[in-house]
């Protein structure tokens, strides 16, 4: 059982998940009611907020001498649903890291929707609330004030939102640590048991001793007279534009190499054809 003293003004800058809670409530068409409730929350009319399991109980001071009794809850997820959710959290390292650090991951809702669930209420019928005041409207300003202060509590401790769905902070963190530990041990075992691949033998890697099918081997000359020098372009030798002898020597060297490459290419084709005819 957790008891919160709520004698404080609402926080002006909520965390994203707390603001999401308020936005969801206002999307149910409760904007005007919640506006009055916000003033109640700011004036300190909510005397306390107490968790009993996944349900919230609160006392809110109204016009009557005795404070009104407010209770609210969301539909909690069952054990199997929470198992799926926590497994999904454990599989994503960033989720585990942030939650273990007490932070709410930005896209935490994806974990729940992937398992067919919703962390936040989808409709107003997903929230079960009642107040002992005579106002027949629901939410009345007393319930609405508790809604707002819950949003502030979410900013301080995101696990309060999980508690409304049936799991405490300690339960979630313990389960996450166990799953992460089990996953780490299993990964380490798999790596140890993996058979090492045989070392690559560079001496025989390029050898092929099988007889080639002659009809599949076709020796043809190159499609053009270009050599590797033509493909790579000019030789990057620093030249002196004022020295004509240096430039002439560079050109002569390039032409000499071209002739060598052309001769080597022609000789390679002749050797291949000769070897092929002998086979």
C-beta separation of 59 from 47 below 8 A: yes
Residues whose CB falls within 8 Å of the CB of residue 99, separated by 6 or more in sequence, listed in order:
89, 105, 172, 173, 176
CA distance 146 to 189: 50
pLDDT at residue 193 in the model: 54
Per DSSP, 117 falls in state -
pLDDT one digit per residue (tens) for the chain, 279 residues: 444 444 434 455 668 888 888 899 889 888 888 888 888 888 889 999 998 888 999 999 998 999 999 999 999 999 999 999 998 888 888 887 888 787 788 888 888 998 999 999 999 899 999 999 999 989 999 999 999 888 888 888 888 889 999 998 889 888 888 887 775 555 555 555 555 556 666 666 666 677 666 665 566 666 666 666 666 666 666 655 556 666 677 777 777 777 787 777 777 767 766 665 555
pLDDT at residue 224 in the model: 61
pLDDT at residue 222 in the model: 62
CA distance 26 to 216: 76
pLDDT at residue 57 in the model: 95
Q: Report which of 50, 105, 117 is spatially closest to residue 77, judged by C-alpha positions.
A: 117
- Report whether the peptide linkage leading into residue 20 is cis, meaning its omega lies within 30 degrees of zero: no
pLDDT at residue 4 in the model: 44
Task: Report the predicted TM-score, pTM, of the whole model to 2 decimal places.
Answer: 0.59
pLDDT at residue 166 in the model: 92
Q: Between the CA atoms of 145, 151, 155 and 156, what dihedral angle is there, to the nearest 10 degrees? A: 50
Q: Report which of 13, 147, 172, 31 is spatially closest to residue 90, judged by C-alpha positions.
A: 172
CA distance 26 to 33: 9
pLDDT at residue 129 in the model: 94
Report the DSSP pairing between strands 2-5 and 127-131: unpaired
């Amino acid at each position: 059982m957790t008891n919160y003293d709520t004698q404080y003004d609402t926080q002006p800058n909520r965390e994203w998940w707390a603001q999401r809670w308020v936005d969801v409530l206002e999307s149910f068409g409760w904007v005007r009611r919640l506006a009055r409730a916000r003033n109640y929350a700011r004036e300190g009319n909510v005397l306390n907020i107490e968790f009993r399991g996944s349900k919230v109980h609160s006392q809110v001071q109204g016009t009557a001498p005795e404070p009104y009794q407010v209770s609210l809850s969301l539909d909690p997820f069952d054990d199997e649903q929470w198992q799926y959710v926590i497994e999904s959290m454990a599989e994503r390292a960033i989720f585990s890291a942030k939650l273990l650090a007490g932070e709410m991951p930005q896209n935490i809702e994806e974990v729940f929707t992937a398992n067919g669930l919703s962390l936040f209420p989808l409709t107003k019928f997903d929230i079960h609330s009642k107040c002992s005041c005579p106002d027949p409207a629901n939410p009345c300003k007393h319930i609405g004030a508790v809604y707002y202060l819950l949003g502030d509590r979410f900013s301080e401790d995101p696990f309060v939102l999980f508690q409304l769905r049936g799991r405490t902070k300690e339960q979630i963190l313990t389960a996450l640590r166990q799953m992460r530990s089990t996953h780490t041990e299993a990964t380490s075992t798999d790596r140890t048991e993996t058979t090492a691949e045989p070392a690559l033998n560079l001496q025989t890697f390029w050898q092929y001793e099988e007889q080639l099918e002659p009809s599949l081997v076709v020796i043809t000359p190159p499609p053009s007279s270009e050599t590797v020098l033509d493909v790579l372009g000019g030789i990057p030798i620093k030249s002196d534009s004022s020295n004509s002898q240096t430039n002439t020597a560079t050109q002569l060297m390039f032409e000499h190499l071209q002739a060598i490459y052309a001769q080597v290419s022609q000789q390679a084709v002749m050797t291949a054809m000769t070897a092929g005819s002998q086979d």
